[in-house]
Structure 1
Amino acid sequence: MNKKLSIVATSLVTTSILLAACGSNGDTNSNSNGKEKVMLSLWHNYTGDDQRAQTMRAIIEQYQKDHPEVELDVQAIPPDGYRTRLKTVAAANEMPDLFVMWPGVMTKEFQSGNLLQPINELLDSKKEWKDGFLPGSFDGFSIGEDIFSAPIALSPTSILYYNKSILEENGLQPPKTWDELMNAVTVLKEKKITPIALGNKAAWLAQSSIFSSLADRVTGTEWFLKAAAQDGAKFTDPEFVEALTYLQDLGKAGAFQDGFNSIDNTQMEQYFAQGKAAMMIDGGWALTNLAASASKETLEQMGATVLPSIPGGKGDPNTISGVVGTGIGMSSKVKDAKKQAAYDLMYAMAGPDAQKRVLESNQLVSYKVDLDKTKVTPIFAEVYDLVNSVTTTPVYDGVMSSAVADELNNGLQDLLMGGKPEEIAKKVQAAQEKEAK
């Protein structure tokens, strides 16, 4: 009798082991809750102490608590190195399952490399969420009928921030024209005050926050889009050289502090917040950094406006360059239960509740959310109203390919160190012609 019981017990154990083995399948298996275990990787750049980064990290942590069946491998990469890291794994076709990505060129390049998959299925399953985005929100993330991400932010890039006290104490007003801006630079330099803080170490800032809007003032939007398409306009045209010259004139006048190419945008924002500069030309992303680092009194001294108009310029001066912000992309390799887990995380990070939390972290969003101004800083409320009162023009690196944008970024660094506008224009045009082949 005992021998028979031993044989039955052994058989049961063997069967259990075989069943357990059958439940293991690559990235998925069963957990103690009976749900299929899923392994999911996520790359993001929410590494800072700004309120938006803290909010997004909290959302990711809550997702992990709410989904014990998902084993989340999170890679948090500082913003300045994030794009380079992402492009490196893209070149090797080793994309993470989910990743922060940009609209426009990045979406096109990743889609053409078969690195992305559309999220139409997710958006269509939550129509109220999809319909809550502002008009045009998906344009930069769309190719044909396919939508590859939902934006988590709105990124105006060319806001002129100013310190009210410094300007008033020196008999100045926020400049509305180029002559007023150059006069302000002269007056402030005489008082040994830095007129405009600049942090162009990563090279993109002068292009994204100053030049995209300044050049549009000179050339108009239509010219830029034609030049980018090589359709009846070239970057060697006189109006583009003129735009470069305006930026160089600002540098020659001493508008920026010494060493502006050796500090990044976060250091620039701190420099401005500390009252060491009268103005700063930066994007909407500065607002959440300032909310986390500047005192209440400092924030109350800040104002915001658009860049000054250019005499004889072809562009509308009542504009701000900008794009919808980053979103979460999904690798083309994500399938089955892993795909559903990815959808759940994407919705957690970009759904209505997340959009509201992001807005209240002093970060603009491209979603219909009523702003409770008691929950944000005064300067954020001012920029919120400003952005809603102007139109948006393209950001250069949102339209140009990565290679051409890099050429322009490096060229602008050279320009501000004394490089010739005509030579920089030739290099940008050559890069654009090479890309168009």
Structure 2
Amino acid sequence: MRKNLIFGLVFILVFSILAACSGDKKAGNSKDKGNEKIKLSVWHNFAGDDLRAKAVRAQIDKFEKDHPEVELDKQAIPVDGFRQRLKTVAAANEMPDVFFSYSGSFTEEFYDGGLIQPITDLWEEKQEWAEKFLPGSKEIFTYDGEIYSAPVAMSATSFLYYNSELFEKYDVKVPTTWDELMTAVKVFNENGITPISLGNKAAWPAQSSVFGVIADHVTGTDWFLKAINNDGASFTDSEFIEALGYFKQLVDEKAFQDGANSIDNTQAEQYFVQGNAAMMINGSWAITNLASSVSKEELEKIEVTVVPSIEGGKGKPNTMTGGPGAGFAMSSKVEGKQRDLAKELIFAIAGPEGQKAIAESESLVMYDVDIDKSKVSDLYYKAFELVKNVNFAPVYDLYLSSAGGDAINQGLQELMLGGKPEDVAKKLQDAQSKAVAE
């Protein structure tokens, strides 16, 4: 009897201890759960050591420091593999929560697939911030009235860079009309100076930097947007063949150096800087390249303006190709508190502080920010002041299908080798109409 009593007491004691331990464990779990970090992932392609990449990563790091409640998975993926990585996870519907997305068809594909969600509420909540974006900033990321990104980059692809020393030496007027441009071409050729430096080995520079803006001057933007969708316009229309004719005129008048299809864009930049060419039609990326690779004396000779308009053309004057280059988007799966934090992360990068940091890294932004001139080159400052007052036209390869983009790139190379505008136009129309129909 006594044994049974002792055994019973021991059993009760052990059971109580175990119950207490279990209770403590449950309480501990509850406490841990309350302190559990919210997971958030962000992917971008700012993996390099350039100033812009460092500026963007610094804004992300600051967000992480300011939000200890967040477990942030940061993936900086090299540019060359970034697009493919995103397309791979998109196919499996496993998008990162926040990610860097290029404007145009790239973002549109994610929208069509239901993979991203609007951040219109961020734009509405931050009115003072939203009002300082340059015209066209939100439109390219707007679908069915909702805004899906906030741009942190400007893709300006057709600056006309010119060597002021050479223009002064040969008494050439900086061109504001097509006829003045052709006069400049003639004078520089007569004096043994290449008029326009071009490196078209990769095929896209002639299209993205030179032809696109010429074509918009002739056809206007509305015509192009109809043509890419086979909506009442065709690339075999007379105005497009006329635009190709203006490009061919540059070729026939020897505006570009011999072998332009055999040298790359970097070689073309150096050819221009060395004084071998009087002009260069190139993108905003050239500013960063030149600022980091040439002497202050060489840089001081370089001025920047727009490609001159064409009399009788349907495009707006003072226009260059470009606009918002890319911004950060949000996965459609993000919700609740995680979504609130994702919005804060996007604002941390694309907000006033982030825009200023990116701008002062010698990278153009679609935002009216006050820049500390001591932190940037004179060339960059001139370019940034210029783009505040220009009209932007679509960059062809951002809107055409992949097949259409290849067709115009290859077609322009053919024109530079003696091809006919009509043949180039037909190949582009065939490629684009087939892509639209699929």
Report the TM range for the smaller structure's normalisation. Answer: 0.7 to 0.9
**1:345 aligned partner:** 345
Is the Cα–Cα contact under 8 Å of residues 51 and 288 in structure 1 kept in the other structure? no
> 1-side partners of 2:135 and 2:286: how far apart?
24
CA apart distance, 1:203? 3.6
Instruction: Render the CA deviation track for 1:355-408: whole Å, top value 9, x for unaligned.
Output: 122233333332332344444322223223333343333332344344433432
* Within-5 A mapping of 1:247-258: 247-257=247-257
After superposition, residues 137-176 of structure 1 pair within 5 angstroms as 137-176=137-176
Q: Residue 302 of structure 1: CA displacement?
A: 0.9
Equivalent residue number for residue 243 of structure 1: 243
1:9-158 matched pairs, under 5 angstroms: 34-42=35-43, 44-68=44-68, 69-78=70-79, 82-158=82-158
Which of 177-186 and 216-225 deviates more? 177-186
Once the two structures are TM-superposed, the CA of residue 84 in structure 1 deviates from its matched residue by: 4.8
Alpha-carbon distance change, 192 to 114 in structure 1, aligned in 2, over 3 angstroms: same
- Secondary structure of the structure 2 residue equivalent to 1:334: coil
Report the secondary structure of 1:366's partner residue.
coil
Instruction: State the 1:240 CA deviation.
Output: 1.0
Q: 1:402-433 CA deviation, whole Å, 9 max, x = no partner?
A: 44334323433443344432222112212332
Partner of residue 218, structure 1: 218
- How many Å apart are 1:148 and its aligned residue? 0.4
User: Given the alignment of the two structures, is residue 368 of structure 1 paired with residue 368 of structure 2, yes or no?
Assistant: yes
Offset from partner CA, 1:255-274 (integer Å, 9 cap, x none): 33455446554554454345
| Residue in 2 that maps onto 1:228 | 228
Distance 1:3-1:405 versus aligned 2 partners, 3 A rule:
same
| Matched letter for residue 106 of structure 1 | F
Contiguous gaps of at least 5 residues in structure 1: none
Q: Which amino acid aligns with 2:250?
A: L
What is the aligned length?
428
Judged with a 3 Å threshold, the aligned counterparts in structure 2 of structure 1 residues 85 and 409 are, in CA distance, closer, same or farther, namely: farther
Measured at CA, do residues 168 and 20 of structure 1 come closer, stay the same or move farther in structure 2, by a change above 3 Å? farther
Determine if contact 1:49/1:289 at 8 Å carries over to the other structure.
no
Contact 1:150 1:328 in 2 (8 A): yes
In structure 2, do the counterparts of structure 1 residues 413 and 184 end up closer, same or farther at CA, with 3 Å as the change threshold? same
> 2-side partners of 1:3 and 1:418: how far apart?
99
Give the superposition deviation at 1:144: 1.5
Please state if 1:272 is matched with 2:269: no
**Rounded Cα–Cα distance in structure 2 between residues aligned with 1:198 and 1:141:** 31
Deviations 1:204-263 (A, max 9, x none): 332222111101222233432332343332110122122123223323444334554465
| 3-state SS, counterpart of residue 247 of structure 1 | helix
TM-score by length of 1: 0.83
Aligned AA for 1:117? Q
Instruction: Tell me: CA distance 1:121–1:144, structure 2 relative to 1, closer, same or farther (3 Å).
Output: same
Is the deviation greater in 203-212 or in 174-183? 174-183
State the Cα RMSD in Å: 3.4
Asked if 1:294 corresponds to 2:294, the answer is yes
What do the CA deviations read for 1:150-193 (whole angstroms, capped 9, x no partner)? 11133332110112123333443333343443444455456554
2:366 matches 1:358: no
Q: 1: distance between equivalents of 2:424 and 2:72? A: 49
Tell me, in whole angstroms, the C-alpha distance in 1 between the residues paired with 2:288 and 2:24.
54
* Percent identity for Structure 1 against Structure 2: 51
1 CA distance for matches of 2:192 and 2:21?
83
Deviation at 1:95, TM superposition (A): 3.0
* Conserved? CA contact 1:272–1:279, under 8 Å: yes
1:151 is paired with a residue whose SS is strand
CA contact (8 A) 1:50 1:290 kept: no
Q: Which has the larger radius of gyration?
A: 2
Q: Secondary structure at the match of 1:153?
A: strand
Q: Which runs of 5+ in 2 are unaligned?
A: 1-8
Taking a change above 3 Å as real, the CA distance of residues 167 and 399 of structure 1, as seen in their structure-2 partners, is: same
Give me the whole-angstrom Cα distance separating, in 1, the residues matched to 2:303 and 2:116: 40
Q: In structure 1, the residue corresponding to 2:228 is in which secondary structure?
A: helix
Which AA in structure 2 matches 1:247? F
Amino acid at match of 1:198: L
